[in-house]
Amino acid sequence: MCEYSSRQLSVFDHPREECGIFAVYGVDDAAPEIYNGLFSLQHRGQEGAGIVVSDGEKIRSQKGSGLVSEVFTPDKLGRLKGHLGIGHARYSTTGANKTQNIQPLVVECSDGIWAVAHNGNLTNAGRLRRMYQDAGAIFQTSTDSEVLVHLISDPHYRLRPRRVERALGELKGAFSFLIMKKDCIMGARDRRGFKPLSIGRLGDAWFLSSETSSFGFNGAEHVRDVEPGELVVIDSSGLASHRFAERADSLSQCVFEMIYFARPDSRVFGRNVHSVRMEYGALLAREHPVEADIVIAVPDSGNSAALGYARESGIPLDFGFIRNHYIGRTFIMPKAQDRASGVDMKLAVLPEVVKDKRVVVVDDSIVRGTTARRRVAALRSSGAKEVHMRISCPPICHPCYYGIDLPDRGELIAAQKSIPEIAEYIGADSIGYLSMESLKVPFDDHGDYCDACFSGDYSVTMETDSGKDALEKNL
């Protein structure tokens, strides 16, 4: 999750992760299962985590700032007794320690306790929030997720059949939601399918997760994805499907899941992420060939595309960068100087690999260009003869309103400079981006992916409300 302002993050040079959500129903001890699920989704959010469980009568909650392994000690997990529950790995970029915003949100309504976890960004949250505030409602957080809680507890919906479906139907924008009561869990995706949410099963136990890779940690098998516009309800009767909105004729599945966000061993929107990234690398090699001695990846999200580039081009793949996995994500460090230092510590160059070589560097994206510039300089100082950057997505020229925390257009290097100017700025001998035409080549359903950050073609309008307080996006 992150605030709309991104001015404090001037050194950050990649899209920022989304949140990860995970749920389970029908196990003897839900908390360890949710812990495993969140641990496997840690790449989607590292600023905070929360777990809410129920034994059918009592609901118990634990959340805090930090990594999953830091928030949940064995003693804390041991106190979370229940056979069903939901969890959330939170992402925030401001460095502010806003514990009240860590999810799942737990609230008490007239008909009992509800818990909610969210990945996405509601484009009409400001208007709905103002409507409830004007009516006297009090909000405890600055996240847009709390709007759903007020809709669910609204007498207009609470006293009518299918209240959750009706409440979800009021929301616009991008979302995957987990919703929990003491005796059931629910999962929902917006009608355009921006965010992934998958269903897993192990015997009589059911799982819901942002990514299918997390099912392997629990031994579950991927059954299917939650459909756009669908609400699934899991209780003692099993899984039931409900429709709260008609599936859009053309979906807007986030293509950045394939480029960067998801783990390579996940199936997202029905496709293996590693295979798609490999194909992007091969397409990049066809579009932007160059005479070179080695191909290296910017680890880890550039690994698969670099392998595809190397295989297609015939240029050997080698390890030019070594990543220090014990350095935290640079963009969650609160001070700019700490983040700049973290970038230097995160990747080390192997001089023996790059010295006197013509090097092709494959990365997933460039946002501001600051980190790419550092890495090119590091390769030069280690003796690289030539450095050719290859990026496995088109130039990012527009902000995202649907759950990727990209900066304002004025801070996006591709919106301000031509491609030759970008190459000059980062110090590369050449730079090549994947074309818009190649972006959707791996997919049969070419029109079902959101490319707004590249094209500026927004499928859902961001509603404005000049009187609203700043809300956080649940990335």
Catalytic residue numbers, as ranges: 19
CA 268 – CA 439 distance, rounded (Å) = 16
CA 155 – CA 262 distance, rounded (Å) = 39
Three-state secondary structure readout of 10-45: CCCCCCCCCCEEEEEECCCCHHHHHHHHHHHCHHHC
What's the number of CA atoms in the CB half-sphere (13 Å) around residue 47?
Answer: 27
Q: Output the CA–CA distances (angstroms, integers) from residue 446 to 60, 246, 343, 398, 443, in the order listed.
A: 44, 20, 36, 20, 6
| H helices present in 405-446, as ranges | 413-416, 419-426, 436-439
Paired with 73 in beta bridges are none
CA 460 – CA 123 distance, rounded (Å) = 8
CA 416 – CA 414 distance, rounded (Å) = 5
CA angle 296, 302, 307 (to 5 degrees): 60
Which of 297, 252, 253, 250 has its CA nearest to residue 277?
297
